[in-house]
Structure 1
Amino acid sequence: MNKTENQNINIKNWQQYSFADIFDIEKGFYNNRPEQDEKEKIPFVSASKYNNGITDYVNKNNTKIFKANAITVVNDGNSMAHTFYQDKDFTSSHSVNILRIKKDFDVGLTENIAMFLNTIIYRERDRFSYGRKWRFERMLKTPIKLPSKNGKPDWQFMENYIEKIKSKIKYPTKDPVLDTKRELKTKNWKSFNLTDLFKISGSETTPLLELEEYGRGNYPYVTTQATNNGVEGFYNFYTEDGGVLTVDSAVLGYCSYQSYNFSASDHVEKLIPKFMMNKYIAMFLVTIINQEQYRYNYGRKCSQDRMEKGSIKLPSKDGSPDWGFMENYIKSLSYSSNL
C-alpha cells in the first residue's frame, strides 16, 4: 500500500525570494584544471557530487583563489545543483557558481546555515537539464523559498534547526559488538541458489517528480546508483516494505540492504528473504552478492532472469547456510556497534 506522512517542517508560511535577493554570486573560473600540487592543498572544486565537490588540489601560485566560507553549486552536467559548504580557501572550475550571503543582511554564513541552504538549493535541480544549465544569469533569477521573520530570512531558525538535528546524531565508534574475532575460511563454503534463499521480485517504479509532490520526509528513494546505499533522497512516501535487499538490474547488480520502508526508481529489484534476516546477516550477504558484479556489464545486465538462475557461496552447516556464523562474523568487525 502506498503511504505518506506529514512533513517534519512546516513551509507553508515561508517567503519567496530570488537568489539575487539573498546571495552575492560569483562565476567559477577555470575551463581547465590548474597545475596539480597536493603540498599546497588548495582544493579545486568542480562539477562533482562527491567529496564536497573537490576533485583535486592545485598550486596556489598564479591561481584565482576564492575565500573560504562560501557555498558552491554545480551549474552543469550530471552533478547539476549539488551544493557544498567550503570552509577553506579554494579555487573552482567554470561549472561551479560561488554563493555568499549578501552583506546587507549582516549575518555570517555559519556551517549550520550553509547546511540548511544547501538542502533548499539542491531541491531546485529539477528545473534544469543539459539543455538548460544553471549558469550565473539563470541563477540570479531563480526563486527560492526560505523561513522568514519580519520580511527577512530567519537565519536564527535555520541555525537552530540544523543544530537540533546534529544533537540527535549518534557519532560512530570503532567498537565491535563481539570481542571474539571470527576467521573466514571459504574453502568449504557451499553454493546456494538465490531462489532457495530469496523471493526475487520487482519494485513499483515511482517517478521522482511524483515524490517531489509528496515532499521531503523519512522514507528512502532507492535508485540504481552504486553509492550511498542506492539512496537518492528521502520523501514522505513509500511503496515497498523494508527488511529486504535491493539490486540494480540496469547495469552491474549493485546490492544494498534496505532496513526501512522505501520507494524506488526503475530497475530496482528486491530480494525478499525466505529466512530470518537481521541487519548483520544482511551486511554479510550484501558483500557476497556485490562480489558477483564482475559477471555483469551494459551488454549483460543483472536482470531478474539472471538472478533467478544465479547462486552464491556461503558458510554452511549441515548442508544449510550458517546464519549464526555470518551474524557473528559481522558483529566481530570494528564499527559493527554502529549498525
Structure 2
Amino acid sequence: MDLQVGKWQEFAIGRLFELQAGKINNASALEDGTDCEYFGAKWNDNAFMKPCKYNAKLVNKGNCIMFITDGQGSVGYALYKDDREFMGTINLVMGYSAFLNPVIGMFLATVICRERERYSFGRKWKKTLAQTVIKLPIQHTEDGTPVIDSQKTYSNEGYLPDWQFMEDYIQSLHSKPLTTRVTGEDVPELRTETWEGFCLGQVFDVQYGINMELNACKETTPDDPEGIAFVARTAENNGVSAYVKPVRGKIPQKAGTITCAGGGSVLSTFVQDRDFYSGRDLYLLHTKEPLSLKIKLFLVTIITIMAP
C-alpha cells in the first residue's frame, strides 16, 4: 500500500488522546511479586523493567500508547502497551482513546517515534506532549474530498484520522515467520553467581572518538563504495545514523571496534562491522588482546544490560 504521506494532515497529541501520567516515583518501593509488571522510561525491552506485586492504587490501564517523556537516552520514544494493567514510572505518560487497538497502536507509535530527534539533547517532553503535532492519514469521501467533522473533535480544521487505513496498512505488511536454530538445549548455564566485577578500563583500552559532526559531512548511501558509516549516540541500527563520503584528514576507525555511547542513548554498545567515523560522545573500546566476534558480542551484551 502507498502511504501517500503528502495527503496527511496535522493533529496535536492532546486532541487524539486522553493523557495520564504514570504513578511510580520510586521503583525501589515496589513490593516483590509476579502478578503485575513495572514499566520505566527506557526504549529497550518495550520499557519493561521488572515484575512486581499488584497494587490497585498504582496501576494504569492497558491498551494505550506509552510516551517516554524523560529518562536518559529514551525521551521521545512511544510504545504500544497491550490491554493488561501495569505500573509505570512518573516519566511515562499514557495516551488512551476509544479508537485504539494493537494494530492502530503499532502504526501510531511508529509515527510518533519520528518526533524523537527533537529530544536527543537533554530536552524533556512532558510539558509539551499535548501540543506535539504529528501528521496522520485522513478520511476522504469517494470523490477524494476530505471528510470534515463538524464537531472538530481531533483538529480545528475538522479532519478525521483514517483509522481503517492505518489498520489496513499494518496488516498489508508481510514478513516470513521468525525462525532460529537455537533450541536452548545445548546452551551452558551462565552461573553468574561465580562472576566477578571488572571496570571497563581493565578489560578494554578506552579511547574517546574523533567527535565528528554529521552536519559537516556529505551524506551518501550504504551501497556507495566510498561510503563510510557514521556511528552516533543512537540505540538503533547498530549505532549507525548515516553513511558519509570520506572526509579529508579524518581516518576512519577500523571494523571490529566496539563503540559505546557516552551521551544520548547512554551505554548503547555495538561491534562495528565496517570502518566508520565516530560522532559526539562516543567511546571506542579496544580489546587488550585479540578476541573473536562471538566473544565481543558477549561483552557487548553485558555492557548493554548495564544501561538504565
Q: TM-score range by the shorter chain?
A: 0.5 to 0.7
Contact 1:248 / 1:268 at 8 angstroms: preserved in 2? yes
Contact 2:230 / 2:244 at 8 angstroms: preserved in 1? no
CA displacement 1:83-131 (0-9 Å, x = unmatched): 2211121111110100012x4xxx3x22221111111111212333676
What RMSD over aligned residues (CA atoms) do the two structures have, in Å?
Answer: 4.3
Shift of 1:68: 1.6
Point out the more displaced range, 8-17 or 78-87: 8-17
Change (3 A) 1:258 1:22: farther
Is residue 161 from structure 1 mapped to residue 169 from structure 2 by the alignment? yes
Change (3 A) 1:58 1:240: farther
- Greater per-residue helix proportion: 1
Q: 1:172 aligns with which of 171, 175, 179?
A: 179
**Structure 2 partner of 1:96:** 92
**Structure 1 partner of 2:195:** none
Shift of 1:240: 7.0
> Within 2, Cα distance between the matches of 1:292 and 1:37?
30
> Within 2, Cα distance between the matches of 1:47 and 1:249?
20
Contact 2:258 / 2:272 at 8 angstroms: preserved in 1? no
Contact 1:45 / 1:55 at 8 angstroms: preserved in 2? yes
Contact 1:253 / 1:290 at 8 angstroms: preserved in 2? no
The TM-score, its normalising length taken from structure 1, stands at 0.54
Q: 1:248 aligns with which of 259, 281, 284?
A: 259
> Within 1, Cα distance between the matches of 2:34 and 2:268?
39
Contact 2:32 / 2:52 at 8 angstroms: preserved in 1? yes
**Structure 2 partner of 1:334:** none
Unaligned runs of 5+ in 1: 1-7, 177-201, 215-219, 270-283, 294-339
> Within 2, Cα distance between the matches of 1:229 and 1:144?
24
* Amino acid across the alignment from 1:256: V
Aligned length: 229
Is residue 223 from structure 1 mapped to residue 213 from structure 2 by the alignment? no
Identity %: 26
- Greater per-residue strand proportion: 1
Shift of 1:10: 3.6
Higher relative CO (Cα under 8 Å, sequence separation at least 6) belongs to 1
Change (3 A) 1:231 1:37: same
* Amino acid across the alignment from 1:58: C
